Structure 1
Amino acid sequence: MSGGLIQRGPRELKSSGNSNSAESSANDALQKNGFQLGRTLGIGTYAVIRRATYTLDNLKTNLACKIINRKKVPKEFLIKFFPRELNICVQLDHPNLIKVHSILERNEVVYVFMQFASKGDVLGYLMKYGALEEHQANYWARQLFSAITYLFSHNITHRDLKCENLLLNEHYQLKIGDYGFARYSISKRGKDIYSETFCGSIAYAAPEVLGGIPYLPKNADLWSCGVILYALHCGALPFRSDRPRAMLVAQVKKKWVFSSPAKDNLSPEGKDLVRSLLEPNTEKRINLDAIRRHDWMKETMFQILMNKYFDKSGQRK
């Protein structure tokens, strides 16, 4: 097996069978294929994420591994969501998307090995350092929308965009991860596919999702991007409620304001883009093409923002 192997379906792992337990037997099989599991990074609803390494010709690659036990997940997830996730994630190849390395299977357990984001996620970064300066927010936003452009161009929607799913590599490059709710948005006949499933977190869900009506997932993804941009600028979320109905009312009535530091420091162009994304009327919400042409997304704006914080020698003003 070569480094960077991506397969259309999970490959069955085999071992000598000499181990005394199913777990140690699986570990033996993984090690024979060059993989070594490390400490647990997180525990989700249906999966466990662990650190991992892959070694080939004495060259070690740091990875993360998503482990799913087929016997411990709901039937709907196993039949509907999980195969769709595997089908999509093996096809993705973009610098701002977490890339799958290998998918292997041992009995009822599936191991999805993927790129490791050593600097955690954007939520953790915001909790540690607070709101971003505008040039940094712009830098990450450009990476976010670059990834979204790639997904949409392949008729894929994420449906669970949130700060927790924006991961950071060793260079603090942003990468979208977790494709558990991802799906194709266009049918084989070329028609839009409306979603009816409630996906993701309430705080990032678009009004049409909370309203329980069939929705176009691309529109909903862009609303979630608006929530993310607000969080980058303000270090908080625009809508905070555990009750979907109350959240929906606040969204529709646009009951949100820019909090500090964005209230006083964010450029008019930056504020305009956030407002355009957090538009409850889907017919008026900004689309991806308009986002890419927006003044705040232009290269000249990034240079203006950099000049605001740094002099020509690169020293902070």
Structure 2
Amino acid sequence: MMDKTFMETKGYTFKGTLGEGTFGKVVKAESIHLKKLVAIKIIGTTKSGSVNRERFLTQEKEIIRSLKHPNVVRTYDVFESRLETVYVVMELCPQGDVSKLIAARGALSEGFSCRLFKQLCLAVQYLHGINVAHRDIKCENLLLDTHHNLKLCDFGFSERLTYIDGKVVLSDTHCGTLHYAAPEILKNLPYNPKVSDVWSMGIVLYMMLMGSLPFATTNISKLVHLQVRHSISFPSASSVSTEARELIHRILHPVVERRITVSRMLESPWLLQGTVEDSNDDWATSASLGQRALPKKMLKEDEETSKSRSHDGQRQSLEQRTRECLTSQGVKNSKIKSTKEV
């Protein structure tokens, strides 16, 4: 499927494979024009296997071309070969993804989680502001650049929203990842993708702060039961602040009308008080975004391990793309996969 010679004619020299999935792979390449390393997602359209897949690939190509935000993975180029292969050229995020970071270190510090979550809020606020819903927000799709700034990636399930009489047209296409899916999706109800994105953000925040999922069952009926109870437990050993717990509780509200909005999140006491780092952390300044990065000691550790886990987030997100976006009957067939299953 991948044609290195064809890539070279477009100005990209193959440097190595970052990951592979059912529909293609992600590779590292050097861009002659940009004079830097990039990640290229290579998708074989002939292997898509369904009309749904073709439709989502078309949507993704249209949407990613329009995105420009410091906390969204930047797409530099999209081109196709005569062999029906799509090449998506993106910025390279060498520090992997948030899921891998949590797996390696456990729960993240409250200060670091606050900084990352604020960046996620800004990314989603930007997307929703231009009427784009991501629909697959999860730790695996949150990449980290050289300075450990968050970059939201993988727009394979994203959707451009439409309105009638000022109201968003609800979606009936059920997709995403089981443990991050909102109850209205798991119950096969028409849903507002913006509001469902918010639920997924709440799962991400819980994962960052606790190092585990708030609702761990893989049984859909039991999962929905736990979600609608709105009883969120926190590990007894956790020292996470009351303000952070209250924010999680407001985000993971099963009643759509009572779920907090992204703008209200940014006004919450926990995010307004800023990045409350541990007093012994020596934070380096990110020159590119004017935001704080990880402690220099941690940055050094990550540089030593980055080769082994480089761009895991883009690899993981491509593997997740092997899931078919569900029809209303699809949830009953359990085609939304759990994070353990994929």
Rounded to whole Å, the distance in 1 between the matches of 2:173 and 2:14 is 34
What is the Cα deviation at residue 193 of structure 1?
1.8
Of residues 222, 244, 262 in structure 1, which corresponds to 2:198?
Answer: 222
What is the Cα deviation at residue 42 of structure 1?
2.1
Of residues 58, 61, 85 in structure 2, which corresponds to 1:83?
Answer: 58
Partner of 1:19: none
What is the Cα deviation at residue 287 of structure 1?
1.3
Deviates more, 1:145-154 or 1:34-43: 34-43
Whether contact under 8 Å (1:222, 1:287) holds in the other structure is: yes
Is structure 2 residue 247 aligned with structure 1 residue 273? yes
Within-5 A mapping of 1:2-41 = 26-41=3-18
Whether contact under 8 Å (1:65, 1:114) holds in the other structure is: yes
Whether contact under 8 Å (1:234, 1:261) holds in the other structure is: no
Of residues 48, 53, 60 in structure 1, which corresponds to 2:25?
Answer: 48
Rounded to whole Å, the distance in 2 between the matches of 1:288 and 1:33 is 39
Rounded to whole Å, the distance in 2 between the matches of 1:175 and 1:157 is 16
TM-score by length of 1: 0.84
Rounded to whole Å, the distance in 1 between the matches of 2:114 and 2:218 is 29
Segments of 5+ residues of structure 1 without an aligned counterpart are 1-21
Amino acid at match of 1:67: I
Of residues 232, 247, 258 in structure 2, which corresponds to 1:284?
Answer: 258
What is the Cα deviation at residue 37 of structure 1?
2.4
Partner of 2:333: none
Within-5 A mapping of 1:121-160 = 121-160=97-136
Rounded to whole Å, the distance in 1 between the matches of 2:175 and 2:186 is 10
Of residues 175, 179, 189 in structure 2, which corresponds to 1:199?
Answer: 175
Rounded to whole Å, the distance in 1 between the matches of 2:136 and 2:236 is 27
Partner of 2:188: 212
Partner of 2:279: 309
What is the Cα deviation at residue 81 of structure 1?
0.7
Whether contact under 8 Å (2:28, 2:39) holds in the other structure is: yes
Partner secondary structure for residue 185 of structure 2 = helix
Is structure 2 residue 29 aligned with structure 1 residue 64? no
Return closer, same or farther for 1:276/1:313 CA change in 2, 3 Å cut-off: closer
Amino acid at match of 2:99: L
What is the Cα deviation at residue 186 of structure 1?
2.6
Q: How many pairs were matched up?
A: 285
Rounded to whole Å, the distance in 2 between the matches of 1:311 and 1:113 is 35
Is structure 2 residue 219 aligned with structure 1 residue 243? yes
Return closer, same or farther for 1:312/1:91 CA change in 2, 3 Å cut-off: closer
Whether contact under 8 Å (2:45, 2:54) holds in the other structure is: no
What is the Cα deviation at residue 248 of structure 1?
0.7
RCO comparison, higher one (Cα < 8 Å, 6+): 2
Rounded to whole Å, the distance in 1 between the matches of 2:88 and 2:251 is 33
Segments of 5+ residues of structure 2 without an aligned counterpart are 285-294, 297-342
